[in-house]
Amino acid sequence: AQSVTQLDSQVPVFEEAPVELRCNYSSSVSVYLFWYVQYPNQGLQLLLKYLSGSTLVESINGFEAEFNKSQTSFHLRKPSVHISDTAEYFCAVSDQGGSEKLVFGKGTKLTVNP
């Protein structure tokens, strides 16, 4: 069975600072990896995903994540954050065998301060 660990429950940063949100997973099979974002009082939206190929994946709003198989990690980074990036971020995993389940981490609340 898969599991996801998000190492930080809250990350406060100042605007224009870099940020890294950490995610580690465990699985006995090859996986798909996802980052979802949840803005206040909204549902979750897909931010980016790793399916195969290049281990570095990017989103349209400047976030990127790198799949590291040896360290079983999929950390999310952004070189310069904006106030509007304030949200909760969830890492998720499903296995490439077509598992029915999408398993989420407990989330990291990113707060960007002026």
Partner 1 sequence: NAGVTQTPKFRVLKTGQSMTLLCAQDMNHEYMYWYRQDPGMGLRLIHYSVGEGTTAKGEVPDGYNVSRLKKQNFLLGLESAAPSQTSVYFCASSYGGSQNTEAFFGQGTRLTVV
Give the residues lining the site for partner 1 (CB under 8 A): 6, 9, 32, 34, 36, 42-46, 49, 51, 90, 92, 94, 98-107
Strand pairing class (10-14; 108-113):
parallel
Decide whether 38 or 72 has the Cβ nearer to partner 1: 38
Decide whether 1 or 70 has the Cβ nearer to partner 1: 1
Contacts 24+ apart (CB under 8 A), 50-59: 50/74, 59/35
Diameter over CA atoms, the chain: 44
Decide whether 85 or 88 has the Cβ nearer to partner 1: 88
**Closest by Cα among 108, 107, 93, 105 to 1:** 93
